[in-house]
Structure 1
Amino acid sequence: MDGPVGGSRASGGNGMVSNQANDTTTVAADDPKQNLNQVINSVQKTLGLLHQLYLTVSSFNAASQLPLLQRLNSLVSELDNMVKLSEKCNIQVPTEVLNLIDDGKNPDEFTRDVINSCIAKNQVTKGKTDAFKVL
């Protein structure tokens, strides 16, 4: 899908469709927390748009064609906005977390396992240092 479906959007002459009402990409490039918060907000907005789209599609009739097209346009615009915002974020996700998500598991399990592993290693190290103190 190269652009919005139906509806009216302004094209800047370069083939790119702009949506000034949702343009939140003017962010200081050196503020990673603000960049991340904007990506999170965009993800939440996208989830809301997907829910609205689901409701529109599940009760579709001829009268709901225009709202369907408007919601599709909003979704495409927000996904484009999300991509632009995400380019400013440098987030590294361990491949183990992605594998857990692919397997349908909760990524919090990975965090719990890493913390438990660190606690166990810390206890072993503490035991060794205590043994050396006794010597």
Structure 2
Amino acid sequence: MDSAAPNSSSSAASAAAAAAASGNGVQGGVGGDRPEDASKQNLAQVTGSIQKTLGLLHQLNLNVSSFRSASQLPLLQRLNALVAELDTMQKLADGCNIQVPMEVVNLIDDGKNPDEFTRDVLNSCIAKNQITKGKTDAFKAEDKEWK
């Protein structure tokens, strides 16, 4: 995309939704009778809508950067398409129940990769697991001494 990117809050929303979708193993076209299948399908639709919105924003950026009075009608049509897609996205998002940690949203707003948060949480879990394993090994060794 060009250097004139959408504002950080829309980037945060799209990246958070994409991260949530990829983190939950959501695949497009998943459907079924179970509520979680419907939720996954709805999430996949929201993700698709976000991608379509980003494409429309890119097209708008191109139209605005090379604007001439003759290109006013296509510009207005793309603006109307963007508004319609944002409305669709909002309606689809109402059916999704996604909880994104504020730390992830703040990282995205700061222009950082949300994978950093995942990496830090994973490293913290590994460190705590090693501490716990050390304690259990110490208890096992102490238990053998008493027997």
Task: Count the aligned residue pairs.
Answer: 108
Aligned to 1:103: 110
The Cα offsets for residues 61-105 of structure 1, whole Å up to 9 and x where unpaired, read as 111111001000000000000000000000011111122122222
TM-score by length of 2: 0.70
TM-score by length of 1: 0.76
Structure 2: where are the runs of 5+ without partners?
A: 1-32, 143-147
Task: Note if 1:46 corresponds to 2:53.
Answer: yes
CA distance in 1, matches of 2:34, 2:46: 13
Aligned to 2:97: 90
Cα pair 1:29 1:88 within 8 Å, conserved: no
Correspondences of 1:16-95 after superposition (within 5 Å): 30=35, 31-95=38-102
Structure 1: where are the runs of 5+ without partners?
A: 1-27
Aligned to 2:22: none
Task: Note if 1:133 corresponds to 2:140.
Answer: yes
Letter in 2 for 1:111: T
Aligned-residue RMSD, C-alpha: 1.4
Deviation at 1:29, TM superposition (A): 9.3
CA distance in 1, matches of 2:122, 2:62: 40
The Cα offsets for residues 10-35 of structure 1, whole Å up to 9 and x where unpaired, read as xxxxxxxxxxxxxxxxxx89311101
Whose helix proportion is higher, 1 or 2?
2
